[in-house]
């Protein structure tokens, strides 16, 4: 096959498919992402069986013999692939995240649970991040459309639990939550330290945060006004 004849081609296919998912929402194309998800799912299964197909031969400086060296940086190509998908879904971007979550679900339905347990944390992390982002918006009272696709993250979490087992899922989720708390505490400590050691930067941070809050409130008012059917109406004083 082509994969066997061209060493490293499986890595290229997986890398290029990930790039098709890693686009801004305005450039998102459903058909392209669907094909990319299918390619990634197939590539993952082949990587598990034949990881050597992700490597290309390179000659050493000492002699003319070829030896297999990773074309990517990871000796476990599946680990590299799952880390890549996890990182793609971390930045905000509804359609980009949705594509990666669908990819996780596709892997669950087509791969052995034993092959996925090791990567549970990498899959849970961006989904949990998305769930926390939505919860934060709800607490702030931000207006959101009743989009049925908003339920996708929790649905995929349930698929992960059903596929990998509750015990494995709970352990992985606990580690993800612990890491999230530690990162949050570190950000707080960094901000407190900045207030002492760099007051100018701290003041600028507060100004930027205030502007962001004003823009958020204005956007919320506009969205609420729009949801009520338009702008303000003048009272009719012609009795």
The Cα 97–Cα 22 span in angstroms is 9
Which structure tokens are listed for 116?
Answer: 């996925």
pLDDT tens by residue, the chain, 239 residues: 677 778 788 999 999 999 999 999 889 999 999 999 999 999 999 999 988 888 876 544 444 333 334 454 457 899 999 999 999 999 888 899 999 999 999 999 999 999 999 999 999 999 999 988 887 777 666 655 566 677 899 999 999 999 999 999 999 999 999 988 888 788 777 777 767 877 777 677 777 777 766 776 676 666 556 545 554 444 444 54
Q: What is the reported pTM?
A: 0.73
Give every CB contact of residue 202 below 8 A, 6+ residues apart in sequence. Answer: 191, 194, 195
């Amino acid at each position: 096959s082509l994969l066997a004849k061209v060493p490293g081609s499986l890595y290229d296919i997986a890398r290029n498919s990930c790039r098709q998912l890693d686009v801004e929402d305005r450039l998102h194309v459903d058909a392209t992402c669907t094909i990319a998800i299918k390619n990634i799912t197939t590539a993952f299964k082949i990587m598990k069986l034949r990881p050597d197909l992700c490597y290309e031969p390179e000659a050493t400086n000492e002699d003319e013999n070829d030896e297999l060296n990773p074309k990517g940086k990871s000796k476990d190509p599946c680990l590299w692939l799952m880390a890549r998908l996890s990182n793609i879904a971390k930045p905000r971007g509804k359609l980009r995240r949705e594509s990666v979550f669908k990819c996780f679900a596709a892997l669950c339905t087509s791969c052995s649970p034993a092959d996925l347990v090791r990567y549970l944390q990498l899959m849970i992390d961006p989904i949990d991040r998305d769930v926390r982002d939505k919860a934060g918006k709800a607490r702030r009272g931000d207006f959101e459309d009743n989009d049925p696709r908003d339920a996708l993250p929790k649905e995929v979490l349930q698929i992960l639990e059903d596929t990998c087992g509750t015990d494995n899922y709970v352990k992985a989720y606990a580690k993800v939550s612990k890491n999230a708390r530690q990162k949050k505490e570190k950000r707080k400590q960094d901000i407190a330290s900045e207030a002492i050691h760099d007051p100018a930067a701290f003041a600028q941070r507060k100004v930027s945060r205030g502007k962001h809050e004003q823009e958020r409130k204005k956007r919320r008012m506009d969205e609420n006004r729009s949801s009520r059917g338009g702008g303000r109406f003048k009272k009719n004083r012609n009795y």
